[in-house]
Amino acid sequence: MPPTVQPCAPPALTCSYNIISSVRVPAGWKVSLFTDPGLQGRSLVLTADLARLDGEFDDKVSSIKAERTN
């Protein structure tokens, strides 16, 4: 199955524009956060929950890619 790509653009409901400060990642998933729209810019890959994003990503996530890992 190909990866699921969900950029933050209307009417996407998977993220809000630049207000994400924590991430919950379900077991069996990988989430990539990007600082720019369209899966561009700096990226951070998470395979587990992160209660607090650091300064580089806190309130600066503009697009997200979620992929099932199993």
Residues 38-56: tens digit of each pLDDT? 888 999 999 999 999 988 8
Number of other residues whose CB lies within 10 A of the CB of residue 12:
13
Task: Please determine, for residue 64, whether its predicted confidence score (pLDDT) is greater than 80.
Answer: yes
Q: What is the mean pLDDT of the chain?
A: 80
Determine phi and psi for 4, rounding to 5 degrees: -90, 125
pLDDT at site 17: 57
pTM: 0.74
pLDDT score for 12: 42
In angstroms, rounded to a whole number, what is the distance separating the alpha carbons of residues 53 and 16?
15
SS3 per residue for 1-66: CCCEEEECCCCCCCCCCCCCCCECCCCCEEEEEEEECCCEEEEEEECCCECCCCCCCCCCCCEEEE
pLDDT digits (tens, 9 = 90+) for 6-50: 555 444 444 545 788 899 999 999 999 988 888 889 999 999 999
